[in-house]
Structure 1
Amino acid sequence: MDLFRRSWREWLGDVGLTAAAGALGTLLLLGTEEDPPPDVTIVVPRDLAIGAVWLVFLLLFRRRCPAAVAVTMMFAQWTATSALGTAAIAVYSLAMLRSWRTVLPIAGANMALIVTLFWITSTWHQFRQGTVVFVLLYAVLITAGMLVRSRRQLIASMDERARAAETEQRLRVEEARLLERERIAREMHDVLAHRISLLAVHAGALEFRPDAPADQREAAGIIRRSAYEAMEDLREVIGVLRDDAPGGDPERPQPTLADVSALVQESRRAGGRITLEENVPDLGRVPARVGRHAYRIVQEGLTNARKHAPGAEVTVSLDAGAELGVEIVNRLPPGPPAAPLPGSGAGLVGLAERVALLGGTLEHGRTGDGRFRLRARLPLETAHARETGGKGEVHGSELL
């Protein structure tokens, strides 16, 4: 049944309030027994038995229908003195679970009935004393209930804001990931368009070479036409990702690892204190695909350093072995960590997409000596094999 379907915390709170109602009712019964109203005989066992029934009623229904319980106890307190405590706790539950618009009319009517009860059954001294006690008691209980309700609403509002902030952060990260994928796709379009155009040029040269056999010229013509068709298809598919209007600026050449030094020089001219440690003996060994992503990693690392540690010394390290290592280290400003800027971390999400595309690893975070380190390891052999197509590569120059 729904009456018994509660968490253990809810049961614990309900039992505690019911026990408080029983204790308050017992105290009121004992006080009334010591100074009973005139011509009133109190049978304690009967009173406690009736009060116990109303305690069970409070325990079962106070959470499901607090207003109905408070109204019922308003009249039930006439049946037993010990039920006065149950009625008071019912008003407290109502203040804790419902708004003041519901609480104040019911509490006012309940207080009016209690005053009427004292007026009918008590002496003037008992009436005055009882009225003061119950007014103060109800004022305290209603205030406490409203405070508990306000605190619960505040906690619920904070939880809702936290969930909204988490959702917004997830959306920002997802948006950054999608934007970075689009950017990578645009770069791939530029690179592939360049290579396919070279393929078409070489195939065209072979097609119109007079001393070439007819079957080779026919095959070269098919390759040339297929290359142009592939370029058109590529433009249609990837072109939807571009913000450029038709007829806008021409496509820019994509950066390579050799352009990192120019990037560092540009940052130095902007006022940055940057040290470049380059241990790449043969730049030609680094595939253009890996070099392009390495350039973007260095670019994002320098941007983060300018944003979060302006004026700090930055060290950029490039190391080529079995894999290409890219590391950007900068010292963090003194003092406690500053609050993250809006959108913080979106660039790192994009770098993670790039590194995952190459099958590498990316690490970033604070070090024990008060610095921030961004380090990526990019495999070279796999990328080189993909770029060359294996050992059977035939350069366009060999066809001519």
Structure 2
Amino acid sequence: MTSAVVPDHPWLLPGSLVPARAPRRTPRDWFVDSVLFVASLLWVLITHADVTSVTPEFGLNAGPAWLEEVDLLIGLLVSGALWLRRRWPVGLAVATAPLVFFSVTSGVALLVITFTVLVHRPLPLGLALVGWNLLSLPVYLAVRPDPTMPFWAAVVWTALLIGVVVAWALFVRARRQLVLSLRDRAERAEAEQQLRLDQARQLERGRIAREMHDVLAHRISLLSLHAGALEFRPDAPPEEVARAAGVIRASAHAALQDLREVIGVLRAEVGSEATPERPQPTLGDVPALVAESRDAGVRVGVVDEVTEPEAVPAGIGRSAYRIVQEGLTNARKHAPGAVVTVRLAGGPGDGLAVDIHNPWPVGAPATAIPGAGTGLVGIAERVTLAGGRLEHGRDADGGFRLTAWLPWAAR
């Protein structure tokens, strides 16, 4: 019968076993129940034949003649009732409680019922049943005196037999509790492992989403800027129109390529080998990023005061690249036509400082590029994880400034 450990219950001691439900018997259960039924039935027949004989062969307790036929019927009924012990052990114990005062033939069945209650039900109930059996011994031996040994010797012998059954039941109970505890611990460890995998998967997806925001926002803002220029200057020279169209085509192709790669990663099944990621940008890619913005018509000034740019750690360089990318994207969105100043400074031991400044826009741009407003949140998280600082907002000169400091350990 399936049991479960319930540690917090007003009627249960810590670690008590209670039935979770009444499942169907397994082949092992059928075998055990059949053996116990046959053993109890044999005991009924042997004891009835012995107590009704003139000279008892096994020293079993004799009693009044009229009681033997009744006891035979009782022993047969209780033996048959053992098939119900898995479903109603406590009810069966209560129903058979009076039999401990006089029945010889039901002895094995009563021990089996006591064993079942001790193993499968709250421990106080099992101990109360054992106490009832021990207290009934004097009455039982008065009704069924043992012809082969003194009264107190028979009490001690019977108490020892009950003690052996109790010890065996407590051992089985402890073993089952250990098995249930180990099983519960294994299931919990498996669930925690699955939770860690899910969390790692979500974190990775969040990282990919932030990367996509940084990349696509930059490229789509370039698309919007050039498309707006073509819209408001339909009479532009063919060379300028062709150059703008080329930038739009290249940006759209790059954006689609980035989007296709990320969607492929997100659709990849768990356990499949992921496609190797493209090399991540570093501080050395900032000039190409600035050149791309200049080609789009953004006026960008760069001040590079990094003492050892080739020694910048890859993680710090990638974060600096994303900060510059976000600053240029925001300038194109919210301050089109403004002059953007990018300043990089620092060295080993001093950290890497990134400063992006542009004048505050006057009025709303005619073709405002929509934004989700999460770019600076992602940059702030990136800088915080790197152990740096980030500030952004309107400065004393009335412009917008994005300033970050990233730690750069000395060599």
Give the aligned partner of residue 37 of structure 2. 18
Distance 1:175 1:231 in 2: 37
Give the aligned partner of residue 83 of structure 1. 106
Distance 2:215 2:368 in 1: 11
Q: 1:64 aligns with which of 87, 91, 97?
A: 87
Distance 1:211 1:243 in 2: 41
- Relative to structure 1, the CA distance from residue 4 to residue 99 in structure 2 (aligned partners, 3 Å threshold; closer, same or farther) is closer
- Relative to structure 1, the CA distance from residue 246 to residue 171 in structure 2 (aligned partners, 3 Å threshold; closer, same or farther) is farther
Q: Give how far 1:83 is off.
A: 0.8
| C-alpha distance after superposition, 1:48-92 (max 9, x if no partner) | 4431211111222x1222222223223234564211121121111
| Residue pair 2:102, 2:140 contacting (<8 A) in 1 also | no
Q: Give how far 1:138 is off.
A: 0.7
| Residue pair 2:333, 2:368 contacting (<8 A) in 1 also | yes
What amino acid sits opposite 2:142 in the alignment? W
Give the aligned partner of residue 125 of structure 2. 102
Q: Residues 25-40 of structure 1 correspond to what in structure 2 (within 5 A)?
A: 25=44, 32=51, 33-34=56-57, 35=59, 40=64
| C-alpha distance after superposition, 1:161-188 (max 9, x if no partner) | 2111111111111111111111111112
Gapped regions of structure 2 (runs ≥ 5): 1-20, 249-295, 297-331, 335-366, 382-389, 393-401
Distance 2:31 2:375 in 1: 62
Distance 1:188 1:174 in 2: 21
Question: 1:6 is paired with a residue of what secondary structure?
Answer: coil
Q: Give how far 1:203 is off.
A: 4.9
Q: 1:149 aligns with which of 168, 173, 188?
A: 173
Distance 2:142 2:78 in 1: 24
- Relative to structure 1, the CA distance from residue 232 to residue 205 in structure 2 (aligned partners, 3 Å threshold; closer, same or farther) is closer
What amino acid sits opposite 1:167 in the alignment? A
| Residue pair 2:44, 2:106 contacting (<8 A) in 1 also | yes
Q: Residues 208-357 of structure 1 correspond to what in structure 2 (within 5 A)?
A: 211-212=236-237, 228=333, 232-236=369-373, 243-244=380-381, 247=392
Q: 1:162 aligns with which of 155, 177, 186?
A: 186
Gapped regions of structure 1 (runs ≥ 5): 253-268, 271-400
Distance 2:34 2:378 in 1: 63
Question: TM-score normalized by structure 1?
Answer: 0.50
What amino acid sits opposite 1:186 in the alignment? R
Distance 1:108 1:150 in 2: 20
What amino acid sits opposite 1:56 in the alignment? G
What amino acid sits opposite 1:117 in the alignment? Y
Give the aligned partner of residue 114 of structure 1. 137
What amino acid sits opposite 1:133 in the alignment? W
Question: 2:86 is paired with a residue of what secondary structure?
Answer: coil
Q: Residues 132-211 of structure 1 correspond to what in structure 2 (within 5 A)?
A: 132-200=156-224, 202-203=226-227, 211=236
Distance 1:251 1:190 in 2: 19
| Residue pair 2:100, 2:136 contacting (<8 A) in 1 also | no
Give the aligned partner of residue 396 of structure 1. none
| C-alpha distance after superposition, 1:193-248 (max 9, x if no partner) | 332344355556666697537xx69x99xx99xx9499954543666656547726
- Relative to structure 1, the CA distance from residue 126 to residue 142 in structure 2 (aligned partners, 3 Å threshold; closer, same or farther) is same
Question: 1:236 is paired with a residue of what secondary structure?
Answer: coil
- Relative to structure 1, the CA distance from residue 101 to residue 77 in structure 2 (aligned partners, 3 Å threshold; closer, same or farther) is closer
| C-alpha distance after superposition, 1:111-142 (max 9, x if no partner) | 22233111343268253343222111111111
Distance 2:211 2:63 in 1: 99
Give the aligned partner of residue 344 of structure 2. none
Size of the alignment, in residue pairs?
249
Aligned identity (percent) is 31
| Residue pair 1:196, 1:231 contacting (<8 A) in 2 also | no
- Relative to structure 1, the CA distance from residue 4 to residue 49 in structure 2 (aligned partners, 3 Å threshold; closer, same or farther) is farther
What amino acid sits opposite 2:237 in the alignment? A
| Residue pair 2:63, 2:143 contacting (<8 A) in 1 also | no
What amino acid sits opposite 1:101 in the alignment? P
Give the aligned partner of residue 302 of structure 2. none
| Residue pair 1:28, 1:84 contacting (<8 A) in 2 also | no
What amino acid sits opposite 2:99 in the alignment? A
Question: TM-score normalized by structure 2?
Answer: 0.49
